[in-house]
Amino acid sequence: MFGFLHLPGYGPSSRRRLRSGKASSENHKKLLNTLNSETSTLSGASQQKKMTNEEDVFTFQDTGHPDHLMSGLQELRKECRFSDVIICVGATEFPCHRVVLASASSYFKAMFSGELRESLATKIVIHSVSEDIMELLLEFSYTGRVDITQKNVEALLEAANLFQFGTVREACSRYLQQRIDASNVLGFHEFAEAHNCTELSELAKEFVIDNFLEVFQTSGEFLQVTQERLVEYISDVNLQIDKEEQVYESVMQWVRADVDNRLSILHKVLEHVRLPFINPRYLVAKVETEPLILSSPACMELVQEARRYHVFDYDRADNPNIRMKPRPCFDISEAMVVVGGCSGGDTKLAKVDCYDPKNNAWHTLSDLPEYNREGYAVVALGNDIYVTGTTDETITSDGCATTWKYSTQSDRWMTMAPMLKSYKCRATVVLHGQIYLLGGTDINGPVADVERYDPFSNSWEEVQSMIKAMNDFTVAACRGKLYVNGRSQGSEKILFQCFDPSTDTWNFIDNSVMPEWSQVPQSITLNGLIYYLRDDSKEVDAYDPIANQWVEVAPMKAMHSSGSVCVIDGKIFVSGGFGELAESNLIECYDPTYDKWAYSGSLPEPRCYHWCVSILKKVEHKDEEE
């Protein structure tokens, strides 16, 4: 309460003095100073002088007024004075003021301002909340304060969400966020999802993803999570684990907790386990002998897929799926290895460089042996690199040519079983975990011979020859078959031959609708299509062998004549070669999802006649190098 200010020298007897001459002016100033001095001592008060063209405006504001007002309203509520509505919860009645509840809660604002019967009712019955929780919300409505405890937090958050006390809900959410641990995080996640607490939900999920093994081993709620929630966790790209076996074991324990209801959906969960990256010994000893796995044909298909991966009988480019990619937590990613080639004209290179597209970083590997050989070919089988090809220097004493293998584990080259024939300029490709070596030339011209290498027996064998020998051709493996495009000697016509290893037979494919090529292009397989990158232009064509149709593809940004091409992470990478004016060091990347090409780094130097293959390699972080 404010009383009148008593100003010395300012009363009825002093008015005449204030109105006359210099003394009047001085007394007026004294009056203002005294007024300002005494009003500034009022608790919580502030004042401001505003100047306008017409008059001086003195604004007074009591900063403590909101607290005084809320305190007064709370006192009136406690004394049941001036209340105009009674909130009934169970056997308890809470006299309240509509205007206060409507100001604090959108729920009550809608109730009192709408056409519902509650807008006129003097008593309103509230269900789905206890008396003590309602008292906390009413207390908050009148005071802006609420005491959150471990005992009341979940019920309070649920009620705050129901009655639209947004700030209380967020406060409860923050309270829970600070108390997340491996034992309660799964329950918190479900609770947050049910009550639309986005921040709490995201934080809880992140905790599970970052601490999956601890949650799996600690939380008593793990075995009760739904199929959808378990899949959400184990399929997350950021899942942190030490080895894939941990994910497999968590899934199997979850299934065993309710075999009757979960066995039928085991395959739907198991397909999110990256079985190919389970240790082969564990796969054979534990997974393939598990009765629950053996009882499910769909699960056995996933196991067989993993086995094919381990024996190199799976093409990540031809049949890409997420199970064939190592999890990011393992710090392993697909990398491009550039082998040999020429730079600066005819200078042959022994260099072998490794490119990490994600970090745009290059690393040097061991040099290529016998790099002076001409017309050699390079393929990746499993995670190793094989070089085949013949010159006089590489023919062994028995008239055969050396095969070289590069081990990514030891970073060294080693000789393998020699090829059966010593032809030059042969094409090579991998199919079903074996290397096929096709065609080539001898002193009499092109040959149609084909031989096949088995990495497990380290041996070569002859297979059915091509129908027609070619001296300018390209080969690709797609959907379990080999596809060869090229010209026979003395002919400008492009032939299209296909080899089926299951029957060991070749046949011609109708080439009447093939694009017109002045030169035979490079070929690469991705997602069941064979892409042909022209050597004399930027144009790209694609062939669908299942539909026997040609597909339009966006052109490259630059020409890469005598460049090289490979597939990394579901995208096509083409590098180097001759551009329109000179040798190029450019790397382009094609994303089939958007049918677009984009530049993606560059070779260490311009290079042509080189080979590119993709392997899985441990990521080398820059900070580790330094």
pLDDT category at 1 given cuts 50, 70, 90 is very low
Domain closes at, from 281, 316, 351: 316
Average pLDDT of span 400-420: 90
Strands 92-96 and 342-343: unpaired
Q: How many domains are contained in the chain?
A: 2
Domain closes at, from 316, 344, 375: 316
Identify whether the C-beta of residue 488 lies closer than 8 Å to the C-beta of residue 506. Answer: no
Tens-place pLDDT, residues 556-578 = 999 999 999 999 999 999 999 99
Q: Give yes or no: residues 396 and 456 share one domain.
A: yes
b/e map of 348-360 (b: 16 or more CB within 10 Å)? Answer: ebebbbbbbbeee
Note whether residue 103 is domain-resident. yes
Q: Give yes or no: residues 531 and 476 share one domain.
A: yes
**Is residue 529 pLDDT above 90, yes or no?**
yes
**Is residue 443 pLDDT above 70, yes or no?**
yes
Q: Which of 75-79, 175-179, 244-248, 585-589 has the lowest mean pLDDT?
A: 75-79
What is the DSSP track for 201-249?
HHHHHHHHHHTHHHHHHH-TTGGGS-HHHHHHHHT-TT---S-HHHHHH
Amino acid identity at 407: S
Tens-place pLDDT, residues 32-67 = 454 455 444 444 445 555 555 567 888 888 787 877
pLDDT category at 6 given cuts 50, 70, 90 is very low
Taking residue 486's Cβ as centre, other Cβ atoms within 10 Å add up to 24
Note whether residue 72 is domain-resident. no
Q: Provide the pLDDT for residue 370.
A: 74
Note whether residue 7 is domain-resident. no
pLDDT category at 317 given cuts 50, 70, 90 is confident
Q: Give yes or no: residues 118 and 147 share one domain.
A: yes
Q: Give yes or no: residues 293 and 347 share one domain.
A: no
Q: Give yes or no: residues 460 and 520 share one domain.
A: yes
Whose tokens are 């799964």? That residue is 186
Q: What residues contact residue 87 under an 8 Å CB cut-off, 6+ apart?
A: 93, 94, 96, 101, 124, 126, 134, 138
Identify whether the C-beta of residue 611 lies closer than 8 Å to the C-beta of residue 377. Answer: yes
CATH number reported for the structural domain that contains residue 450 in this entry: 2.120.10.80
Nearest to 625 by CA among 319, 321, 362, 354: 362
What is the DSSP track for 373-413?
-SS-EEEEETTEEEEE---GGGB-TTS-EEEEEEETTTTEE
Nearest to 209 by CA among 242, 245, 234: 234
Q: Give yes or no: residues 260 and 383 share one domain.
A: no
Note whether residue 57 is domain-resident. no
Q: Give yes or no: residues 344 and 235 share one domain.
A: no
Taking residue 609's Cβ as centre, other Cβ atoms within 10 Å add up to 20
Q: Of 337-346, 446-455, 512-521, where does the model show the most confidence?
A: 446-455
Q: Give yes or no: residues 245 and 180 share one domain.
A: yes
Largest CA distance in the chain: 136
Specify the DSSP element, H or E, that contains 285.
Answer: none
Strands 571-575 and 564-568: antiparallel
Return d(Cα 572, Cα 598) in angstroms, integer: 10
Q: Provide the pLDDT for residue 53.
A: 57
Note whether residue 35 is domain-resident. no
Q: Which of 66-80, 224-238, 281-295, 360-374 has the lowest mean pLDDT?
A: 66-80
Domain closes at, from 295, 316, 337: 316
Q: Provide the pLDDT for residue 13.
A: 42
Q: Provide the pLDDT for residue 185.
A: 96
Identify whether the C-beta of residue 268 lies closer than 8 Å to the C-beta of residue 228. Answer: no
For 34, the 3-state DSSP assignment is helix
Q: Give yes or no: residues 304 and 396 share one domain.
A: no
Return d(Cα 474, Cα 534) in angstroms, integer: 11
Q: Give yes or no: residues 265 and 391 share one domain.
A: no
Q: Provide the pLDDT for residue 67.
A: 77
Tens-place pLDDT, residues 446-493 = 999 999 999 999 999 999 999 999 888 999 999 999 999 998 877 788
Note whether residue 27 is domain-resident. no
Identify whether the C-beta of residue 416 lies closer than 8 Å to the C-beta of residue 405. Answer: yes
Domain that holds residue 286: 80-316
CATH number reported for the structural domain that contains residue 167 in this entry: 3.30.710.10
Q: Provide the pLDDT for residue 9.
A: 44
Q: What residues contact residue 341 under an 8 Å CB cut-off, 6+ apart?
A: 348, 349, 564, 576, 607, 608, 609, 610, 611
Tell me what percent of the residues of the chain surpass a pLDDT of 90: 63
55 burial class (0-12, 13-18, 19+ CB within 10 angstroms)?
Answer: exposed
Strands 427-431 and 434-438: antiparallel
For 358, the 3-state DSSP assignment is coil
Note whether residue 60 is domain-resident. no
Q: Provide the pLDDT for residue 266.
A: 98
Note whether residue 113 is domain-resident. yes
Q: Give yes or no: residues 226 and 128 share one domain.
A: yes
Return d(Cα 541, Cα 521) in angstroms, integer: 9
Q: Give yes or no: residues 397 and 288 share one domain.
A: no
Q: What residues contact residue 158 under an 8 Å CB cut-off, 6+ apart?
A: 195
Cα R_g (the chain), whole angstroms: 40
> Which residues partner with 387 through β-bridges?
378, 404
